[in-house]
Structure 1
Amino acid sequence: MTSIFSLISADYRRYYALAGGSRLRRISRCLLSPGFQAVTVYRIGHWTLHGSKILKLPVRLVYVLANLLIKICWGIDIEPDAKIGAGLYIGHFGGINISGAVVMGHSCNISQSITLGVAGAGDKFGAPVIGDEAYIAPGVRAFGKIRIGNNVKLGANAVIHADIPDNAVVVLEPGFKIISLKGNRRRAQTPG
């Protein structure tokens, strides 16, 4: 099992590589990034579920408080039961929900306003298993017992409910359809 320190280090290296500027500016951008803070708190929470029994209780209390702050301040909710590989990068914060049943590979990028959740019934009940190096754009909703392959790009606002093969690029069909011309208000009937 990979240590918490090597996982946080891999996450940090992803943020550092994507930050611009001098070394000091890059370090401060990493440490002040809501995404990096949320991923670090998630790693600590995950460790408290599977790590050393001696430090478990005091660290768990710190995790609960830190996780609450992450949810309130940044709108990022990553359940500690989720299994997420090294090098997770969250580019923007807000509206991020990742179920504890989700499994995600290494070096994935996720954006704001996404949900990776549980759905289904019977043997179709479950959560997404996401491969390595996936990119999940803003607004994506992926749910149910599905497999999303390696090196997949899920485009903005896509709703994913079936398996996606490796190297696929998935987009919401462009455009829109007018389904009514009645407007959104009821018009008062005028007496005839």
Structure 2
Amino acid sequence: MNIIEDAKADLHVNKRFLDRASVMVFRINQAAQRGSFLLAKRAGAKILDSLWLQWIVGADLPGRAQCGPGLRMPHGGRGVTIHPNARIGEGCTIYHRVTIGGFSSDKKNVPTLGDGVYVGVGASILGRAKVRRGVRIGAGAILVGDITVGDNARIGLGTVVDEDVAPEKILKATRRMERMLHEEPIPADRIRANFRIHDLH
């Protein structure tokens, strides 16, 4: 991992000051976890992290998280939370209020995102979910558990996914389920019963 090269790629895809500032503080925090003079570097990075990411932006982007170059964070990553052991590939887009987290004290029970993954506003990826290359996750979707979402799959907005999704598939909630979401809490078995999987082509 070359933090400088990663940061250059990040600046290329983030055009606004807010977005650039957030990803740069994140990269500085990553750099502080390596090399010599760790205590002094971590102290400086922690101050930046506390002032900018946690206080101003309201995000939790730990420097231990692995993330490839070209990270795009529209709206400065406001409200984004990433698990320290999460792995995120190259060229990913993470919108505001996204959670990429684990379930338990098991450090391996965390998500892995492949290259070019798009995560929409307010989506959550929880547990040992493996999201492969080019997957697009709609706003408010929830991916949970030890599942695999295949290359270039599409997860519709507001969809709950707790089982594997094949490559090149579109998974979305039916209109009936969308209406139910606004009426009352729904048991998981009723949610799954209202899924439809369609071929991309």
TM-score for both structures, normalised by structure 1: 0.77
Further displaced range: 65-74 or 36-45: 36-45
Cα distance in 1 for partners of 2:32, 2:129 equals 28
- Picking from 31, 44, 47, the partner of 1:65 is 47
Equivalent residue number for residue 87 of structure 1 = 70
Name which one, 1 or 2, has greater alpha-carbon Rg.
Answer: 1
**1:176 maps onto 2:179 in alignment:** yes
1:89 offset after TM fit, Å? 0.6
1:121 offset after TM fit, Å? 7.6
Cα distance in 1 for partners of 2:64, 2:106 equals 21
Cα distance in 2 for partners of 1:109, 1:63 equals 23
Asked whether the equivalents of residues 38 and 67 of structure 1 are also in contact (C-alpha less than 8 Å), the reply is no
**1:109 maps onto 2:109 in alignment:** no
- Picking from 151, 156, 164, the partner of 2:149 is 164
Cα distance in 1 for partners of 2:125, 2:6 equals 24
1:57 offset after TM fit, Å? 2.9
TM-score for both structures, normalised by structure 2: 0.74
Secondary structure class of the residue paired with 1:95: coil
Q: How many equivalent pairs are there?
A: 161
Letter in 1 for 2:151: D
Segments of 5+ residues of structure 1 without an aligned counterpart are 20-28, 181-192
Equivalent residue number for residue 9 of structure 1 = 8
Cα distance in 1 for partners of 2:128, 2:136 equals 19
Identical counterparts, % of pairs: 24
Letter in 2 for 1:79: P
Asked whether the equivalents of residues 152 and 167 of structure 1 are also in contact (C-alpha less than 8 Å), the reply is yes
- 1:12-66: per-residue Cα shift (whole Å, max 9, x none)? 1112xxx4xxxxxxxxx3xx22x3222211211222212x214x33322211111
Cα distance in 2 for partners of 1:68, 1:96 equals 14
Question: Structure 1: which 4+ aligned runs deviate by more than 6 Å?
Answer: none
Secondary structure class of the residue paired with 2:10: helix
The verdict on how the C-alpha distance between 1:179 and 1:59 changes in structure 2, with shifts beyond 3 A counting, is closer
CA RMSD of aligned residues (A): 2.0
Segments of 5+ residues of structure 2 without an aligned counterpart are 160-172, 186-201
1:165 offset after TM fit, Å? 0.6
